Amino acid sequence: MYQIVKTIAAGIIASAVTTGATTASAQGILKGDTGGVGSVNHTFMIIFSTALQKKAGINLQVNEGQSLTRSALKLGQGKIDLSVVPPVMVPWMHKGTKFYKKNPGAAKKAIDNIRLILAYGSGVRHYMVWEDSGIKTFADLKGKRVFVGPPRGGASPVAIQAIKLNSGLVNKKDYKEIRMPWNAGIQAMADGKLDAFVRPAGIGAASMDQLGAKRKFRLLDVDPAKMVKFMATPDRIMMTIPAGTYKNQSNNDKDVTVDGFRHQLAVRKDMSADKVYKITKTLFDNLPDMKKAAVTLQDVSAKDPFTGANIPLHPGAIRYYKEQGMKIPANMVPGN
């Protein structure tokens, strides 16, 4: 089993932050990007890097706390070897819109150089407020300081959209939209500099209870009826945070309805098929122990590695799935 310490700082201790992808590659070391500490993506990459080292002799150095919009560009440009790629970013890259509108050509070229290993359940959005703030519904966010995510991350526009759908409130007009890196956002919430905190994380994330250790918090319910169009993509699913999940949550006597999402683990298109096959096989061979190490990885499934994916599979991953007798969707085979 791969042990992981359940503290906000766990990933900082466990991971190796690297510099210079070219140097790392020359030394036979793979470089990967992931999001902030406390996210499923972070936990997944840290534990998986341990499995790769111990079971396959592959050294994966993880650069944590990254803006995944930028990481996707780096991956497509060959500056890193692996990265988490949220499905929401893929059409932005193909069209050169949103965060990629300043250099659409680079984004379009980059996305063509990215290939998939798997898609996986990567958590739910926690809409967190302090219990003593008086905020009990999304409408109560009017005039408040709301953390929505990093300045360049894909999480921010999604959070803004969800808030608007559930309340009619418009960012910057009806509430103060706060963007900063994930770790800085956690600290700002702990310091009382925010009124609300939107955090994509796995169900049971230790960071939630740690934030509430000295001050009780409430989780807001979304209204599924208002989120029908929002949820109409394969990578989004309506979920519940079960009652009793967080001991420091004031309304933990009932299930909380929230939106969940899926992410993708992707590699460079030009990585060798043999290496990607080995990476893929190591992942699934060791997935049971990885899940034992972290409760937040329970939605990473060997039975459902394609739902929500919108990047073609790498030939090395295709080889593994065919060996397992899995039917591969035609639209996930490169060239189709």
Identity of the residue numbered 60: L
Is the C-alpha dihedral spanning 6, 239, 91, 266 positive or negative? Answer: positive
Asked whether residue 210 carries a pLDDT value surpassing 90, the answer given is no
Instruction: Please state which of the four CATH numbers 3.40.190.10, 3.40.50.1220, 3.90.850.10, 3.40.1280.10 is assigned to the domain occupying 10-122+264-332.
Output: 3.40.190.10
How many C-beta atoms lie closer than 10 Å to residue 18's C-beta? 18
Domain 123-261 has CATH 2.60.40.4070: no
- With a cut of 60, say whether residue 5 has pLDDT above it: no
Confidence of residue 10 (pLDDT cuts 50, 70, 90): very low
Q: What is the CA radius of gyration of the chain?
A: 19
275 against 67, higher pLDDT: 275
Cα–Cα distance for residue pair 138/136, rounded to 1 Å: 7
Q: Is the pTM of this model over 0.85?
A: no
- Reply yes or no on whether the pLDDT at 327 is more than 70: yes
pLDDT at 248 over 80: yes
For position 35, what pLDDT does the model report? Answer: 87
When pLDDT is averaged across residues 20-28 and rounded to a whole number, the result is 47
Range of lowest pLDDT (12-16, 163-167, 240-244) = 12-16
Query: How far is C-alpha 246 from the chain's CA centre?
Result: 20
Same fold, 10-122+264-332 and 123-261: yes
If pLDDT is split at 50, 70 and 90, which confidence band does 143 have?
very high
pLDDT at 227 over 60: yes
Share of the chain above pLDDT 70, in %: 92
Q: Where are the domains of the chain?
A: 10-122+264-332, 123-261
